[in-house]
Structure 1
Amino acid sequence: MAEPIQSPDTPSREFFIQGITSDGRQFRPSDWAERLCGVMACFRPEGSGGRNAHLQYSPYVRPVLLNGVRSVVVNEDLRQIEPLAYHFVVNFAKDNDLQILQGCLLPEAETPKSP
């Protein structure tokens, strides 16, 4: 079984590519995030592929909806695993004038159950 890249206590180093250009326009086509993540689906931790791996997004590049804006979360670990893939994603954002934000997704806090 593959070793995890980082411990669960270590926050992921990630950045977000938002589907908004620097002048505030929505990026088209509307499914750009899913298309980009589909291209990057083959980049995954060793041993995590499995029979239907081609049907899943890579854990390093995945689509999300942030405040109603289609976005892509890119894990910085992709740079160590496959530098060319990492540069492809970054250059895609730059070439299309998309906004890039540093950050990481945190798991949602559980709401306490009332007694």
Structure 2
Amino acid sequence: MVSNPAKEVIILGTTQSGRTFRPSDWAERLAGVMSQFRPGGPQPGSHLGYSPWCVPNSRDGVRCVVVHRDLRDYNVMAWDFCMNFAKDNDLQVLQGNPPA
């Protein structure tokens, strides 16, 4: 489990051994599943946009998902789902700020 007090965790689409994670749209799929977890709870149509707590992005050309720690405060099972996704797929997890 992640123990750094950084506000965000970045799940990179690169495995611990340096291989590119597939499928190429994995970040959008993960963020799409997490779209209902948002400030104020799910609203009609909220499935049409990403949660501000779990957003697909890229870092140096590598797909990633930026997961904000507020998600853990809102729903620890949703947070665990994201962290276990990274662990189960042997993905690199970084602490800190999102990609610029």
Give the structure-1-normalised TM-score. 0.77
Match of 1:112 in 2: none
Counterpart contact for 2:9–2:93, Cα < 8 Å: yes
Q: Is 1:69 the equivalent of 2:62?
A: yes
- Name which of 4, 13, 21 aligns with 2:15: 21
Match of 2:31 in 1: 37
Moved over 4 A (4+): none
**Greater CA radius of gyration, 1 or 2?**
1
Question: Equivalent residues in 2 for 1:29-108 (5 A)?
Answer: 29-46=23-40, 49=43, 51-105=44-98
Give, in whole Å, the separation in 1 of the partners of 2:96 and 2:50.
20
State the percentage of identical aligned residues: 55
Give, in whole Å, the separation in 1 of the partners of 2:15 and 2:28.
17
Count the aligned residue pairs: 95
Give, in whole Å, the separation in 1 of the partners of 2:21 and 2:62.
10
In structure 2, stretches of 5+ residues that fail to align are 1-5
Give the structure-2-normalised TM-score. 0.88
Q: Match of 1:102, as an amino acid?
A: Q
Q: Match of 2:92, as an amino acid?
A: Q
**Alpha-carbon displacement from aligned partner over 1:21-54 (angstroms, at most 9, x marks no partner):** 00000000000000000000000001683x4321
Bigger proportion of residues as helix: 2
